[in-house]
């Protein structure tokens, strides 16, 4: 999905992640990927919402925690990023 986004095909990236989520609703990976994609588009609040789903599925994911912290950091919410 990030490759599609990087090549100027954001709608295809969204479709790809929609399909992955449909195929593997129990997996946190598609939610993590979507959170990264949404954050790369500058929507940190939206990214945190998607990443919260990834975190609820796999609360031990360091990658998800890092993305959530980065989203808070990009908004200047440093205390939230630390927590």
Sorting pLDDT into bands at 50, 70 and 90, what band is 81? Answer: confident
pLDDT digits (tens, 9 = 90+) for 1-16: 555 445 455 677 788 8
**pTM of the complete model:** 0.82
**CA gap 73, 17 in Å, rounded:** 25
What 3-state class would DSSP assign to 21? helix
Q: How many CB atoms lie within 10 A of CB 14?
A: 16
């Amino acid at each position: 999905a990030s490759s599609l986004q990087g090549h100027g095909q954001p709608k295809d990236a969204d479709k790809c992640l929609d399909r992955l989520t449909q195929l593997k609703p129990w997996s946190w990976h598609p939610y993590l990927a979507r959170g990264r994609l949404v954050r790369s588009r500058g929507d940190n609040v939206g990214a945190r919402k998607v990443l919260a789903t990834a975190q609820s599925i796999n609360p031990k994911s360091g990658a998800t925690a890092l993305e959530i912290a980065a989203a808070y950091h990009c908004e200047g919410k440093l205390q939230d990023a630390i927590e």
